[in-house]
Amino acid sequence: MTSTPPETPPPGFLGENGASTPQVPETPNILFIMADQLAAPQLKIWNDKSQIKTPNLDKLAEKSVIFDSAYCPSPLCAPSRMSLVTGQLPSKIGAYDNASSISSDTPTFSHYLRHAGYETVLAGKMHFIGDQLHGWEKRLTADIYPADYGWAVNWDEPDTRLEWYHNSSSILQAGPCVRSNQLDYDEASMHKSTQYLYDYVRQGPDARPFALTVSLTHPHDPYTIEDKYWDMYEDVDIDMPSVEIKKEDQDPHSKRLQHVCDLEDYDFTPEQIKKAKRAYYGACSYVDDCIGKLLEVLDRCKLRDNTIIIFSGDHGDMLGERGLWYKMSYFESSVRVPMLISYPKAYTPHRVTENVSTLDLPATLCDMVGTKLVPGLPMDGHSMMPHLRGKKGNDTVFAEYMGEGTVAPLMMIRRGPWKYITCPVDPPQLFNLASDPKELTNLATSDDPETKTMFEAFEKEAAAKWDFDAITKDVYAQQRRRRFVWGALKTGEFHSWDYQVPDDSRNMYIRSHMDLDDLERRARFPVVDTYGREKTITKATTKFPHQAGAYGQ
C-alpha cells in the first residue's frame, strides 16, 4: 500500500534530496535571474573565443560556482520552464509544447520555498498556460506570451506550418531598433523587480526572506536591439558559424526544423548572418546590463551578502550553426544553458564539470534553505549540493522534446563525455563531446568495441526509461483536446487567461488621506534620525511598511 504524503514538508525530515539541516548558517534571500534563448557556448565564461561583451556576468562568475555542462530538460520555452520549476521531466507533467498546461496541484520550487517561510515573487516571462502563479505569492508583471491554447502543436498535420512558428524574418530583418516589444517588456520587468527590492528593504528586519525570480525575454529572437547595444559591436568582425552542413546532408530532425522554421528556401548571405548575430550579441549585452542593475540594487540596499544569486536560462540558440537557427534540437548551442550559483559565504567559487540540468534546481533550492522534499511526491531532478560543496555529484542529464519539428518523442541522455539522442522515427545519434565537441561524427554505427558497447547500453537504458508508444499517444490526445477546447473558447465572447497585475494607484505615492511627514519618513532608505544621520534599524526599533503610503490611514 502506498502511503499518503504529508501535507507539508515535515521539520527535520530526511527528504529525497538528502538534506537534514539547512545548508547555510542563516536564512538567505534568493535572486534567480533567467535569460531566454541564451546559449552557454556563446558566452565568454564557457568560450574563450566569444565576442560577446558581458562584464557584469563575468564579474559575478568570479564569485560563483560555475557549471560547465548545464543543460535544459527540453529545448523549447514552456516545456523547459515547466520542468525547471517542478523538477520533473516534460512527459511526467504533460508539458509537451508552448501551449501545454500543467496541473495546479503539481508542486513547484515556489511551493517548497513558501513552506520554508519565503515570500516568492515573479517578474517577467514564465510561459505558464492557465494557472499564472503555480506557487508564486506575487507576480509583478503579466507574461509576454499568451496564457491559452493558441500555440498548440498539431502532429496530425506535420507538414503544415502554423502562423506562430519561428520564421526567417528574424534573420532577414535583423538590425538595430529604437524600441521593440521585447524591450518594452524587459524594461517593465526590470522596473518592477528593482522597485520590489527597494520596497522590500524598507520593510525592516522582520520581513520574510524573499525568493525573487526575474525572467528576461532577451536575447530571444527577433534579432533586434536598441542602438546602444548594437553600436557596442561596431568594430567587431562578427564570426561566421563554425560548422556548415549542407541541407541535404543534415539529419532528419534538422531537415524538419528547416521546414518548420521557414529556413529551407533561404541561403542567407554572410551579411545577413552577421547582422543577426550582432543583434543577438547586443541583446546578450543588454541582459548583462540588467544583471548589473539588479546586483547594484542589492549592493545599495545592503542585501547582497545575504542573497543567493542564481543565473540560468531556458535553452540556447543555434545562431546559424549547422545551418540551424533558434532551438528545438539537442546540439550544444541549442540545449546547453548558462548556470551560475553565487553565495561565497557558503560555496567557494569553483568550476563543476559534471553534467547537470535546470531540472535539478528545485531539489537544490530545498537543500539550500533546509526544507525537505516530500516523500511520495515525484522529483526527477537531483540536488546539486555535492557539486556546490566541491564533491562528486550526479553526472547524468535526461531531456525530452515533443514540440514542433518532430512527429514522435525525441529524447536525449547526456553522461560523461557522451550524448545519446533517440527518436522512434529517426536514426539514433551518439556523440563523444570530449573528442568531437562540434558533434560532427555520429558514432551510433561505429565498429569500435568500446563505443559499440556504450551505444548498446544507451539503447537499453532508453527503452527501459521511456514508453515511447504511450508518450506518443498522450501527445496526440492532448493536442486534440486542446484544439477542440481552443476552438470553442474562440467562439462567442472571449475570456483571457492572461495575468492581470494588481495596481491600485489610489494608495501610492502621496495622497490626501495620508500623513505626509510620516509617509516621507517611511519611504526613505537608508533610514535617518531627526537630524539626517543614518540610523540602524533592528527588530527592537521601528518597522517600516511594504511601500510608502501603501496602507493608507
pLDDT of residue 3: 41
Q: Active-site residue numbers?
A: 77, 127
CB 43 within 8 A of CB 410: no
Looking at per-residue pLDDT, the higher value among 376 and 340 belongs to 340
CB 141 within 8 A of CB 124: yes
The average pLDDT across 9-25 equals 41
Strands 175-177 and 138-139: unpaired
Beginning with the edge strand found earlier in the chain, give each strand of the sheet holding 410-415 in spatial order.
Answer: 396-401, 410-415, 418-423, 426-432
The average pLDDT across 446-451 equals 96
Q: Coil, helix or strand for 296?
A: helix
The average pLDDT across 369-388 equals 94
Is the pLDDT at 420 greater than 50? The verdict is: yes
> pLDDT grade, residue 364 (50/70/90)?
very high
Full-model pTM:
0.90
Beginning with the edge strand found earlier in the chain, give each strand of the sheet holding 29-35 in spatial order.
Answer: 138-139, 119-124, 210-215, 29-35, 307-313, 339-342, 65-67, 350-352
pLDDT of residue 214: 99
> pLDDT grade, residue 413 (50/70/90)?
very high
Average pLDDT of every residue of the chain: 91
Q: What is the set of domains in the chain, with CATH numbers?
A: 40-388 (3.40.720.10), 504-553 (no CATH)
Cα 15 to Cα 81, 223, 373, 376, 381: the distances in Å are 24, 44, 5, 10, 13
* pLDDT tens figures, 486-531: 999 999 999 989 999 988 778 778 787 877 777 777 778 887 777 6
The average pLDDT across 389-414 equals 97
* pLDDT tens figures, 531-550: 677 777 665 454 444 433 33
Is the pLDDT at 48 greater than 80? The verdict is: yes
Burial class (CB in 10 A: 0-12, 13-18, 19+), 161: middle
The average pLDDT across 219-240 equals 97
Is the pLDDT at 9 greater than 70? The verdict is: no
* pLDDT tens figures, 251-294: 999 999 999 898 988 999 999 999 999 999 999 999 999 999 99
* pLDDT tens figures, 178-216: 999 999 999 999 999 999 999 999 988 889 999 999 999
The average pLDDT across 141-160 equals 92
CA dist., res. 108 & res. 142, Å (int): 19
CA dist., res. 203 & res. 300, Å (int): 15
Is the pLDDT at 7 greater than 50? The verdict is: no
